[in-house]
Chain A
């Protein structure tokens, strides 16, 4: 402190410290200004759409139906009275997002699509082509890529209206579960939106969608089976899968039902397949998990053997070109557990089990063959994605694209192999006649 110099230094340092402090405070203050909770939304400020239906509009291109979940339904449980767990809105608009804007004018909460569980198209719209809507759904970042796509045989609005979930109080849960039923019924295909979109653009395969409709029967007196496909399957009465959605004679639960699949070519729907054929479709793609099957009893006319059929291994595919035409080899590996033998014949042991196995193999083979023929003759659409295996024969992508699989698929022939084994007899280990049982009891 001899000279004045240190004082100056002190001052400089003081200013420096002050400046640094100000800089830090400003940086901290700027952070919230920059971010400022920019896109923060409280959950209770949003209306979450759980299902969206798209129909051809009366006054505009689209009629959009939205189901918005009510917050109370989830927490309070019980589902008091006739109150639906959702609010339904309809609007006619030129496109999906303009429709959302219009709904926001009268819905109190901001619409969010982040929890959208399903998109339903009417078959009318699907037959005209879904390209304009798929694009919007893919670009819009709120759409989930794994939501199922449903084609309603009549209108999407009617389909959504008929969803009155009785088994679960929560509509969102209903949609989550109902489209998982392919895992244990095999009557609807496994469809996810991103996969659907890819398939609609793919040179190797064509997409499918779940076929849905509101049930047409309101009381048991109206039941009929005139729309069933059992005649096509050469049966005297319809099996569980011989229906299209909406035609099943059933009452109770939600009126909306899903059976079968909608066949597409590119983004255009070209036809429908019933539940039985959908099972065959799942077998061919390997998405099949397990379901109950009704087999005609090979040893007792008019009786049935019911088995729980599982896929023991994924199917093996191979595509060869014979005389320029594709020959598709498919090997299915299945196994079955007996769940009911109506005739009480001992199928558990000995030769009878072999008889049952070969009868089942023939039965499955016959059905798969008919399904594949249908894809060729009726739709000329490779919905099973065999193109992916044919692709292996081409050196470059350009060659493969030039080959144009979609036009060649109609010439394909199939070589089917089905391996079927009866594994478990259920809780009855050995069927016996009642006399045999009696005599055994006498011996003791």
Chain B
């Protein structure tokens, strides 16, 4: 047992996934269905090495699939029987009907012509809309079925489906397991005596909140809707914005026991196929019992678990997901999580805010500049302060030096201790601020401002200049738009404080080089993490760091290797041309000319 624990390694892919342009283009004509993705992936790569790798992958996949199938077969004792009583027994057993208080099994009779057929419904109270069941399922079966029936009544199954049940989402199932899965996701199962099939009607009315403003990614200009915990509401929010016929929302189920429904969204003729396949491959090969949130899912599918910076974007804004889908990225939405995941991202995506897209370009460039400054400050400011005051006194203006000197004169600790004291208390305030119950929140501000800001200085525990440094650092860390990236910089900040305390700017430089190497070698779903800058691709500086006006963003990011590189023609503001076609009174052919 110890041995297996120690020696256990995840099956390692020999060659990491790298997103390339060619493989995407070869297959661009084909339409792609979810199941044969692995097969097409294999066909695409003629090279032996790739083939071997794919074989290996397939093998792993096969093992897992058979594994899962076996488990399923164990659960699945038998198919649906023609005997209703047998079915009822199975269902009662499978749902532990005697223990489950919220399980409803409703038995009734259907009168067809002169005979009565026994039937029963099964559903969970609380997951379904009972009115829909009453009106659209029970009522037609019990009352309307004995109306005059025309035509052939041999195939009751087909007949009920096409004539009697007016419900819009009715699925015919052959196994108990299929039905059970549906019932757990807010469905209603209908068994009819004498049939070896059953119906699963989608009558779900899952409890949950309605669409609200996003809580964390606030913008002033732009849509004010956020994702909720409901999968279909979330995909709906995206479909509502992207009315593109090529927008695909593929279903996938993650978690052997939790059976959490997820949706992979992409635009079929824009997103690179290898990327889509890679996302599907990773999602399908997660072998876990329960998965609750995309925060967990992110950890299962990211490339570098130890890299401090996030490699997958989690956002609660549908408009942001839409923008990124339109660029050729892939989004993963999970039932029960108000955050969608978007892959791949690069380092500069974490300093964008959703608002950048909606603001005029000079404004968003100002914001981006400030954010870069904020990142640098939150990462380096305490370190630089320590380095300067401990090692490089010649670097500061004499006046400031004398000011720091007089401020520090009465402080009993070395400046490293001072910095750590303040940084740790700042982190304390921050953590306490999140955990504190709402009504006592304002007290925290008073404690923080009084104790740390004033009393500490007056008691000569810390110098006032340091308070400024820590405060500005804190502001900087709040200005980072990405929540996870904020964590990354907070952790690294302590590393830089240590390095600066040990060897001044030399330490900071070494730290920057090491972190730079780490980041540059990282990948997010096959895309180098520093992509538009290192490796440098076209438009690296103009579009990645600073933003050009909306009508000038002609290409999709190069590193995503979308199937269509162009987003808009070189001249997108057609009205600016002296051309008769684009006159307002015309038949609007101007739009099609693009």
Given A37-B501, A74-B399, A173-B398, also A115-B393 (CB < 8 A) = yes
Chain B positions within 8 Å of A411 at CB level: none
Distance from B394 Cβ to chain A, minimum over Cβ atoms (Å): 4
Given contacts A39-B391, A50-B398, A73-B402, 5 further A-B contacts (CB under 8 A): A35-B507, A42-B415, A72-B409, A75-B402, A170-B399
Cβ of A76: which chain B residues have Cβ within 8 Å of it? 406
How long is the Cα–Cα vector from A117 to B503 in the complex, in angstroms?
27
14 contacts between A and B (CB under 8 A): A10-B2, A13-B6, A35-B507, A39-B391, A40-B390, A42-B408, A43-B404, A48-B405, A69-B402, A74-B399, A74-B402, A75-B406, A75-B407, A115-B401
A75 x B403 contact (CB < 8 A): yes
Interface residues of B (CB under 8 A from A): 2-3, 6-7, 389-391, 393-394, 398-399, 401-409, 411, 414-415, 501-504, 507
Give the complex CA separation of A387 and B519 in angstroms. Answer: 54
Chain B residues near A32 (CB-CB < 8 A): 502
Q: How far is the CA of A75 from the CA of B398 in the complex (A)?
A: 11
Q: Interface on A for B, CB 8 Å cutoff?
A: 1, 6-7, 9-10, 13-14, 31-32, 35-44, 46, 48, 50, 69, 71-76, 112, 114-115, 117, 142, 144, 170, 172-173, 176
Give the distance to chain A from B354, nearest Cβ to Cβ, in Å: 41
In the complex formed, the residue of A with least CB distance to B463 is: A44
Within 8 Å by CB of A114, from B2, B3, B393, lies B393
Q: Please, which residues of chain A bring their CB within 8 A of the CB of B502?
A: 31-32, 35-37
Quick check: B7 and A13 within 8 Å, CB to CB?
yes
With CB as the reference atom, state the residue of chain B lying closest to A173.
B399
Inter-chain contacts of B407 with A (CB < 8 A): 75
Distance, CA A6 to CA B2, complexed state (A) = 10
List of A residues within 8 angstroms of B403 by Cβ: 74-75
Q: Are B401 and A48 in contact (CB under 8 A)?
A: yes
- The reply to whether B398 and A43 form a contact with Cβ atoms under 8 Å apart is no
Cα(A32)–Cα(B507), bound, Å: 11
Query: Could you tell me the distance in whole angstroms from the C-beta of B465 to the nearest C-beta in chain A?
Result: 10
Question: What 9 pairs between A and B have smallest CB-CB spacing?
Answer: A74-B402, A114-B394, A75-B406, A71-B405, A172-B398, A71-B406, A40-B390, A44-B408, A35-B503
| Alpha-carbon distance A37/B415, docked complex (angstroms) | 12
Chain A residues with CB below 8 A from B402, complex form: 48, 69, 71, 73-75, 170, 172
In the assembled complex, which residues on chain B have CB atoms less than 8 Å from the CB atom of A41?
390-391, 393
A43: chain B residues within 8 A (beta carbon): 389, 393, 401, 404-405, 408
Q: How far is the CA of A411 from the CA of B409 in the complex (A)?
A: 61
Report the separation of the CA atoms of residues A60 and B348 in the bound assembly, to the nearest whole angstrom: 65
Q: Using Cβ atoms and an 8 Å threshold, which residues of chain A touch B414?
A: 42
- Given A31-B502, A74-B399, A6 contacting B393 (CB threshold 8 A): no
Looking at the assembled complex, report how far the CB atom of B389 sits from the nearest CB atom of chain A, in whole angstroms: 5
Task: Name the B residues within 8 Å of A14 (CB-CB).
Answer: 6
Which residues from B are CB-within-8-Å of A72? Answer: 406, 409
- In the complex, the answer to whether A10 meets B3 with C-beta atoms within 8 Å is yes
Q: Output the least CB separation between B362 and chain A (Å).
A: 36
Closest to B500 in A: A40
* Structural contact, A10 and B501, CB atoms closer than 8 A: no
Residues of A within 8 A of B394 (CB): 114-115, 142, 144
Identify the closest chain A residue to B504 (Cβ): A40
A109 CB to nearest B CB, Å = 10
Q: How far is the CA of A13 from the CA of B6 in the complex (A)?
A: 8
Q: Shortest CB–CB separation between residue A124 and chain B, in angstroms?
A: 30
Q: Across the interface, which residues of A come within 8 angstroms of B408, CB to CB?
A: 42-44
Contacts of B3 in A (CB 8 A): 1, 6-7, 9-10
Residues of A within 8 A of B390 (CB): 37, 40-42
Kindly report which residue of chain A lies nearest to residue B402, judged by CB atoms.
Answer: A74
Query: Please, how many angstroms separate the alpha-carbon atoms of A264 and B463 in the complex?
Result: 48
| A44 lies within 8 A of B6 (CB) | no
Contact: B399 with A46, CB < 8 Å? no
A432 to chain B, nearest CB (A): 50
A173, B402: Cα distance in complex, Å: 11
Instruction: Tell me how far the C-beta of A271 lies from the nearest C-beta in chain B, rounded to whole angstroms.
Output: 33
Measured between alpha carbons, how far is A325 from B313 in the docked complex, in Å?
Answer: 77
Q: Given the complex of chains A and B, what is the CA–CA distance between A114 and B504 in angstroms?
A: 16
**A69 touches which of B398, B409, B411 (Cβ 8 Å):** B398
Q: Please, which residues of chain B bring their CB within 8 A of the CB of A117?
A: 398
Check B2 against A74 for contact (C-beta < 8 Å): no
A390 to B525, CA, bound (A): 66
* A1 shortest CB reach to chain B, Å: 7
Instruction: Name the CB-closest residue of A to B386.
Output: A40
Least CB distance from A394 to B in Å reads 40
Contact A74 B406 (CB under 8 A): yes
For B410, give the chain A residue with the smallest CB separation.
A44
The CA of A72 and the CA of B403, in the complex, are separated in Å by 8
A82 CA to B460 CA in the complex, in Å?
28
Complex formed: what's the CA distance from A170 to B402 in Å? 9
Cβ distance A41 to chain B, nearest Cβ, rounded Å: 7
Which residues of chain B are near A10, meaning CB under 8 Å? 2-3, 6-7
How many whole Å from B395's CB to the nearest CB in chain A?
A: 9
B393 with A46: CB separation less than 8 A = yes
Look across to chain B and name the residue whose beta carbon is closest to the beta carbon of A115: B398
Residues in chain B near residue A114, CB distance under 8 A: 393-394
Shortest distance from the beta carbon of A21 to any chain B beta carbon, whole Å: 14
Give the distance to chain B from A32, nearest Cβ to Cβ, in Å.
6
Q: Shortest distance in angstroms between A424's beta carbon and chain B's nearest beta carbon?
A: 35
* Chain A residue at minimum C-beta to C-beta distance from B464: A75
CB distance from B506 to the nearest CB of A (A): 8
Contact A71 B398 (CB under 8 A): no
Cβ–Cβ < 8 Å partners of B415 in chain A: 42
Which of A35, A36, A40, A46 is packed against the most chain B CB atoms within 10 Å? A40
**Distance of A50 Cα from B403 Cα, bound (Å):** 15
* Nearest chain B CB to A39 CB, angstrom units: 7
Contact check, B391 vs A40: say whether CB atoms are below 8 A apart. Answer: yes
Alpha-carbon distance between A281 and B265 when the two chains are bound, in angstroms:
76
Instruction: Name the residue on B nearest A47 (C-beta).
Output: B405
CB distance from B480 to the nearest CB of A (A): 28
A46 to B404, CA, bound (A): 12
Chain A residues with Cβ below 8 Å from B399 are 74, 170, 172-173
- Alpha-carbon distance A14/B2, docked complex (angstroms): 11
Question: With a CB–CB cut-off of 8 A, which chain A residues contact B409?
Answer: 44, 71-72
CA distance A14 to B394 in the complex (A): 51
Chain B residues within an 8 Å CB radius of A13 = 6-7
A69 CA / B397 CA spacing, docked (Å)? 13
Q: Which residues of chain A have C-beta atoms less than 8 A from B393's C-beta? A: 41, 43, 46, 48, 112, 114-115
The CA-CA distance from A6 to B390 in the complex, in Å, is 54
Which of A1, A75, A114, A115 has most chain B Cβ within 10 Å?
A: A75
B428 → A minimal CB distance (Å): 25
Q: List residues of chain B with CB within 8 A of the CB of A9.
A: 3
A39 and B407 alpha carbons, distance in the complex (Å): 22
| Bound CA span A92–B501, Å | 38
CB-defined contacts of A144 to chain B, threshold 8 Å: 394
CA–CA, A434 and B363, complex, Å: 57
A390 to chain B, nearest CB (A): 38
- CA A48 to CA B389, docked complex, whole Å: 13
Q: How far is the CA of A46 from the CA of B415 in the complex (A)?
A: 14
**With A and B bound together, what is the CA distance between A125 and B518 in angstroms?**
58
Cα A37 to Cα B6 in complex, Å, equals: 39
Q: How far is the CA of A37 from the CA of B403 in the complex (A)?
A: 23
Task: Name the one of B391, B405, B501, B503 contacting A44, with C-beta atoms under 8 angstroms.
Answer: B405
CA–CA, A48 and B403, complex, Å: 13
User: A40 — which chain B residues lie within 8 A by C-beta?
Assistant: 390-391, 501, 504
The smallest beta-carbon distance between B440 and chain A, in angstroms, is 38
Contacts of A31 in B (CB 8 A): 502
Q: How far, in Å, is A74 (CB) from chain B's closest CB?
A: 3
**Complex CA–CA separation, A114 to B6 (angstroms):** 57
| Distance of A112 from chain B, by nearest CB (Å) | 7
Q: How far is the CB of A80 from chain B (nearest CB, A)?
A: 14
Q: How far is the CA of A36 from the CA of B390 in the complex (A)?
A: 12
Contacts of A38 in B (CB 8 A): 503
Q: Is the CB of A74 within 8 A of B6?
A: no
Interface centre among A72, A74, A115, A117 (most CB of B within 10 A): A74
